[in-house]
Structure 1
Amino acid sequence: MNLYGIQAIYKAEMARMWRTVLQSIASPVISTSLYFIVFGAAIGTRMAEIDGVSYGAFIIPGLIMLLLLNESISNASFGIYMPKFTGTIYEVLSAPVSPVEIVVGYVGAAATKSVLLGLLVLVTARLFVDYQILHPFWMLAFLILTAVTFSLFGFIIGVWADGFEKLQIIPLMIVTPLAFLGGSFYSITMLPPFWQTVTLFNPVVYLISGFRWSFYGAADVHIGVSVGMTLVFLSVCLTLVWWIFRTGYKLKP
């Protein structure tokens, strides 16, 4: 494996984050902090506990997961789209790096950014809400697994998109609504039976439920099912990435 090639792509992507600190780091952290202030500190004090957890603490995993999904997709899609837009993707494809090494470089950088943001928001949440993490190992593992999975998904979107507006279609019109309807701010057990069944068709439910379990040991869906669904989506993304490089879809003229 060409570690130098992976390192070059990885460093270039990480350098872009440090050049745009306000947009890449400050903006999402401040936006998420506003949720903690409004829902956690203001509204949360007037709401009953959910599964024995205060409302402000209950929404922390959901908000971090919402941030993680959007940032993973955004970072990865923009990272691969820009070389396509400028034409430098042909230099990358002609360089002595394999498709696996290209994906590891771009997806690894996007996942690293997302995990760093998730941890930063987790630390920031302590300023507004008291919380505990019962399973810190599983919390970190779930954070990394989700970041890698949706960075791969973002990579696919970046290859598919042929304009800047398409980069935002799926995150804004599909992923964000699914995250809001997937239990970010409530437990799906609070819904009527019919809507509980309907909600189980939302894949984001399994991500938020599994991540919340690592904090408080309570989940809407069994942790094994949550991990399994995440691995299934990871497998689908890996298959699509393999197909993209196998066929040269939108990468080669």
Structure 2
Amino acid sequence: MNWPAIAAIYRFEMARTLRTPLQSVVSPVLSTSLYFVVFGAAIGSRMQAIDDVQYGAFIVPGLIMLTLLTQSIANASFAIYFPKFTGTIYELLSAPVAWWEVVIGYVGAAATKSIVLGLIILLTATFFVPLRIEHPGFMLMFLVLTAVTFSLFGFIIGIWADGFEKLQVIPLLVVTPLAFLGGSFYSIEMLPPLWRTVALFNPVVYLISGFRWSFFGKADVGVAVSLGMTLVFLAACIAVVGWIFRTGYRLKN
């Protein structure tokens, strides 16, 4: 394993985040805090508890997961797309570095930024709503697995995209709607039977359900199923990234 190469890529990407703290940290934390103010304090106080959990606290795992998904994809997709745009990707491809070492460097940095951001939002939420974490170990596990999985997904999008506008197509038109419809603000048990069945085809439901269980011990689907779905998506992303580097898809003209 070429640890110096991995560390160089990782440090470069982390340094880029430190150069833009307003965009990378302050903006997403502030945006999520507005959800806590509006839904948690203003609307939440007038709403009925869900599964004996105050509504303001109930939406915290969903909001953290929503931020985690979008930021993981954005960080990783831009990180690999920019070298393609500037042409420096060829220097990376010709260097004595294995493809998995490149992926570890880029995806590791993107996942780290998303995890730190998720923890900051979690800390911020405690100022707005009463919060408890019944299974902190599982909470961290779901946090790390989701960040790594969707950073890999973002890495794939960054390689696939051939323009800056395409970097936003899937996050805006696919991932964000799935997150909103995946139980971020409600339990799918509240849906009519038909729509509850339809919701089970939404992969984000399993991520949010498992993450919410780590907080309150309550879930829409089994924790083992949530974990299994996350690992399946992770394995699929690793397989796609491996295929991309073996074939040179969108990497070599």
Instruction: Tell me the TM-score normalised to structure 1 length.
Output: 1.00
Is the aligned partner of 1:156 residue 2:166?
no
Correspondence for 2:84? 84
Distance 1:117 1:60 in 2: 14
Aligned to 1:96: 96
Per-residue CA deviation, residues 218-251 of structure 1 (Å, 9 max, x unaligned), is: 0000000000000110111011001000100011
Match of 2:65 in 1: 65
Partners of 1:155 and 1:133 in 2: CA distance: 31
- Residue in 2 that maps onto 1:196: 196
Match for residue 19 of structure 1?
19
Kindly provide the amino acid, as one letter, of the partner of residue 68 in structure 2. L
Shift of 1:38: 0.2
Equivalent position SS for 2:90? helix
Size of the aligned set, in residue pairs, is 253
Please report how far the alpha carbon of residue 95 of structure 1 lies from its aligned counterpart in structure 2 after TM superposition: 1.1
Show CA shifts across 1:59-114 (max 9, x none).
Answer: 00000000000000000000000000000001111111110100000000000000
Superposed CA deviations along residues 104-160 of structure 1, whole A, max 9, x for unmatched, are: 000000000000000000000011011100000000010000000000000000000
Kindly report which structure 2 residues correspond to 1:104-119, keeping only aligned pairs within 5 A, or say none: 104-119=104-119
- Any residues of structure 2 matched to 1:99-248 within 5 Å, and which? 99-248=99-248
1:168-206 deviation per Cα after TM superposition (whole angstroms, max 9, x unaligned):
000000000000000000000000000000000000000
Which residue of structure 1 lines up, in the alignment, with residue 3 of structure 2?
3
Which residue identity lines up with residue 171 of structure 2 in the other structure?
Answer: P
**1:28 match:** 28
The whole-number CA distance in structure 1 between the counterparts of 2:19 and 2:125 is 25
Partner-residue secondary structure (3-state), 1:164: coil
Structure 2 CA distance, aligned partners of 1:8 and 1:251? 21
* Amino acid across the alignment from 2:121: V
Q: Matched residues, percent identical?
A: 73
Aligned equivalents of 1:173, 1:143: Cα separation in 2: 23
Please give the alpha-carbon distance, in whole angstroms, between the structure 2 residues aligned to 1:234 and 1:8.
24
Q: Tell me how far 1:252 sits from its aligned partner.
A: 1.3
**Structure 2: 5+ residue stretches without partners:** none
Letter in 2 for 1:164: F
Three-state SS of the structure 1 residue aligned to 2:59 is helix
Q: Distance in 2 between matches of 1:214 and 1:21?
A: 29
Which residue is equivalent to 1:53? Answer: 53
* TM-score, with length taken from structure 2: 1.00
CA RMSD of aligned residues (A): 0.4
Deviating 4+ runs (over 2 angstroms): none
